[in-house]
Amino acid sequence: MSEFLEIWLPFIYLYGVGGALFLIGMILVRKSGSLNMKLKRHRYWFRVLVFGYFYFFIFHFLFTIAGLYW
């Protein structure tokens, strides 16, 4: 395995497989109407959920960069 994959494969796997599950979850709760985008409160929660995914994505990305080059 190349050095690049050695370092980045866990990150890609985490946000690839985890991201697919997250996406399925978002689609399911929206399609089922449980997350009802007509309600103001639910639109807020939709934004929080998307924010959370990228919050952890960016955190892991920056931490990996720091570990490698800082």
Partner 1 sequence: METFHNIGSSSDWIVMILYFLLVMLFGSYFGKYNRSTKDFFFGGRRFAWWLIAFSIVATGVGSHSFVKYSAKGFEHGFSSTMTYLNDWFFMPFFLFGWLPLIVYSKIRSIPEYFEKRFSPSARFLATILLLFYMVGYISIGFLTLGKAAMPMLPESFSLFGMQIHITLMGVIIFIAIITGIYITFGGQTAVIFTDLMQGFILLFAGLLLFFLGLDYIGGWGVLWNILPTEWKLPLANFNKPPDFNFVGIFWQDGIAGSIGFLFMNMGLVMRFMATKSVDEGRKAATFNVLFMLPISAVVVGNAGWIGKAISLISPDLISPNASPDQIFVVVANIVSHPGVFGFIMAALTAALMSTVDTLINATAAIYINDIHRPIKHLLKKDNLSVRATEKKELAAARYSSVIITILGVVGVLAFKGFPTVYEAHGYFHSTLTPPLVVAIFLGIFWKKFTPAAVITTFIVGVALMLLGAYYPGILIRPFAQGIQMNPEHPYSYIRAFYNLIVCAVPGVLVVYTTMKQKAIVESLKKKSNVNEIMIGMTIVSVTVFVLIVFNIFHLAFSFVLIAILFVTVPLLVNYYVAYDPVSQTEGLTVWSIARAKEMFKGRKVNEEEGERIIVHWKVVDGDDEYIQFSKNDMERMKAKVDDLVYICDKRKYLGGLKSVHQIYGEPHDEDGIVYIKNEHLLNGVFVEGRPLTAEKEM
Q: Is 9 in the site for partner 1 (CB under 8 A)?
A: yes
36 backbone dihedrals φ, ψ, rounded to 5°: -100, 105
Least separation in angstroms between residue 43's CB and partner 1 is 13
3-state percent breakdown (helix, strand, coil) of the chain, nearest 5: 85, 0, 15
Least separation in angstroms between residue 52's CB and partner 1 is 5
Q: Residue 8 belongs to what H/E stretch?
A: helix 3-31
Least separation in angstroms between residue 38's CB and partner 1 is 10
From 2, 21, 37, 47, residue interacting with partner 1 (rule: CB under 8 A): 21
